[in-house]
Structure 1
Amino acid sequence: MNISLLSILLGLGGKCLLNWTLVFLQRNHICKSLLGVFSVSLAVVDTALTISVTALHIHTEYVFLLGLQLTRYHVCLLVQILGQVYNSMQWPVVVLAGVDHFCTVAQRLQPTTGRFRWLVCVLMWSLTALYVFLLSGFYPVLEDVSHNQIHHCWVFHTSQIQQVSMLLLLALSCAGLHAGCSTRLSKDPPPQQTTDPSRTHSRRSVVYQTVHIFLNTWAPFLFFLVVFLLLPVGIPAYLGLNTAWLCFLNSLLIAVVLCVVCPASQLAKGLAAVPPDSFCEWRFKFSSAAEDRT
């Protein structure tokens, strides 16, 4: 898709403002999870990209780097490269953040330090950049005109957001259906099959409350996301990875992990470790009888 340079600058400026606003609102706990640390690093990279693109757009005749004059060709090139890097980072971010949340909820590993999270983020950025340059087969698309006449840039759109959201929402739906089916089986089990009704009902309660808390917070965002993805207009790759999307992704991953792990006894006693979330309040209520059984 062809986008004007002015629209690119306005989009990057708005994205930076949104990124730093959400980082500031979550400043008390944003560095306590891998996804939060990555959100800070993304805000820093976006700020550097915006400043660089703005400087190249305004001072095309005076910007030199290692003896090379940088022009508006390099504006389009930089936006395309960073857009491809953002597009390639969607799945690694989902996988690593999901593993981090799973270890937190399941309490399988010791809590990681902030230094280790920053190291993981640096490695993620570095390896993704190497993948884009060496293995992805990425080729920039530049107009065959003078740099003074370049007013539009060809940018790639992202399809990873739709894939990620569909997969995680499908996993959340499957967890809910599994809990419902388990409850029906526990009501009338076969003669040879013995089930633990208290465990089944507690699992159902955790899944039901998890889905309810998530939808109660993110239902409007889900509606607009579905509408936007159904429209024929694609999302530019340089805008696809942003802090607002990461906040939604954080809540969705927490919901999926809670449905998979279902730490009902820890949740009932207030001992479960839930990853930090600035949007969803992960508080669960259990009846006294259920607490006694669990």
Structure 2
Amino acid sequence: MTALSSENSYQYQLHQTNQPLDGNCLLFLIILGKTLLSIFTLGMKRKNTYQNFMEYFCISLAFIDLLLLASISIISYFRDFVLLGMRFTKYHICLFTQIISCTYGFLHYPVFSIACVDYCLNFCKATKLQFKCQKLFYIFIVILIWMSTLAYVLGDPAMYPHLEAQHGYSYQCPFYSSEQGYWLSCAMVMVLCVAFLISCSEVITLVQGMRITSYMNETILYFPFSSQASYTVNTKKTLLPKFIICFLGTWLPFVFLQVIILLLKVQIPAYIEMNVPWLYFVNSFLIATIYWFNCHKLNLRDSVLTVDPFVNWKCCFVPFTIRNLEHIEKPISITIC
């Protein structure tokens, strides 16, 4: 990697001065915007949620973005300096961002898989670790996945072409676009479309009779279709349209954005594509999937219903547990027609 840096640094600086627009400035603004968006998203999430792997990984992603932003800022300010015997120039802004971009590009499948296993184990209560032990375990897994992916990117010779300036003389710094992110988004959008088509009529009926009310000091969506008072729900057909409404009620703009990106086949650099809002979108999708497959084991009092930082899935089960809720709680809004 040192040889690669010294070989291309001079060529990169030679043509960097002739650029009509400073690409490093644009890159700085993009990373700054992404970092602020990550901090805003982490601050907006619900606080009364249980710790899970995805939560810790989102925090680590925001931290890595902050480190990249700091590195770009320092190199842009000093331009040419030596630290610990290594010379840093403006070329390293491109190099570091390429390394981060390649690392992000290989994280989609592992993060999705680990989060899925984590939710399955927590739902089945297969792990009974204490809070501190569970926290340390999540931190260890997050560090392990970052270190192993970074080691793969830096150690695989096949990745070197992605870490070089295009043809050595390009005015722009090329970045790696992840196929993992594209296919994962495609799969989730396809599942959502199929689920919506299967329960389209039920979704429309529920939306027409849906109300916004309060329950246990929380604002929820109330579906006024009562059932026998029971703390268990064992019908996937009944829950599917409610899950769709709750999920799309939170993530509909993000779903539209994913559809546009997939239809236009937009090549997004991996350092932008892997972001905290997208991870929380995946998180809600995973939680809804786990809940739906295990709906016969769920109940309103179960602590697993509090793991989503943005979607309140409890509102899907209120009509099954409380009869005539409209006589107990005063609706906040009128019926949605």
Q: TM-score, normalised by structure 1?
A: 0.79
Contact 1:107–1:273, Cα closer than 8 Å, also in 2: no
Using a 3 Å threshold, how does the CA distance of structure 1 residues 256 and 265 change in structure 2: closer, same or farther? closer
Q: Aligned to 1:64, what secondary structure does the other structure show? A: strand
Q: Is the 1:83–1:238 Cα contact (8 Å) retained in structure 2?
A: yes
- In the alignment, the residues of structure 1 paired with residue 184 and residue 283 of structure 2 have an alpha-carbon distance, to the nearest angstrom, of 12
Matched, 1:119 2:137: no
Q: Are 1:218 and 2:264 counterparts?
A: no
Could you tell me which residue of structure 2 aligns to residue 19 of structure 1?
Answer: 38
One-letter code aligned to 1:204: K
Q: What SS does the aligned partner of 2:313 have?
A: coil
Is contact 1:172-1:256 (8 Å) kept?
A: no
Matches within 5 A, 1:179-218: 202-218=235-251
Residue 81 of structure 2 is aligned to residue 48 of structure 1: no
Deviations 1:206-238, CA, capped at 9 Å, x for gaps: 333222211222122101221133335421111
Does the CA-based 8 Å contact 2:284-2:311 persist in structure 1? Answer: yes
Q: CA deviation at 1:134?
A: 2.2
**In 2, Cα distance between equivalents of 1:151 and 1:135:** 26
CA RMSD between the two structures: 3.1
Partner residue, 1:164: 184
Q: Does 1:138 align with 2:159?
A: yes
1:46 partner amino acid: D
Matched, 1:266 2:289: no
Unaligned stretches of 5+ residues in structure 2:
1-18, 201-231, 324-337
Deviation at 1:244, TM superposition (A): 0.8
Amino acid at match of 1:76: C
Q: Distance in 2 between matches of 1:105 and 1:288?
A: 20
Code of the residue aligned with 1:14 in structure 2: it is G
2:217 counterpart residue number: none
1:10 matches 2:9: no
Partner Cα distance (1:85, 1:19) in 2: 18
1:278 equivalent to 2:298? Answer no
Contact persistence 2:247–2:284 (CA under 8 A): yes
Change (3 A) 1:4 1:233: farther
Q: 8 Å contact 1:64–1:70 — kept in the other structure?
A: yes
1:42-95 deviation digits (Å, cap 9, x = unpaired): 11111001110121122112x212222111221111110000000001111100
Deviations along 1:19-44, one digit per CA (max 9) or x if unpaired, are 11122223735771110111111111
Identity of aligned residues (%): 27
In the superposition, the TM-score normalised over structure 2's length comes to: 0.69
C-alpha distance 27-288 of structure 1, shift in aligned 2 (>3 A): closer
Selected match of 2:93 from 71, 75, 89: 75
Q: Deviations over 1:114-163 (max 9, x none)?
A: 11111110001011111112247201122645xxxx86312122332221
SS in 2 for 1:138: helix
Q: Which moved more, 1:224-233 or 1:247-256?
A: 224-233
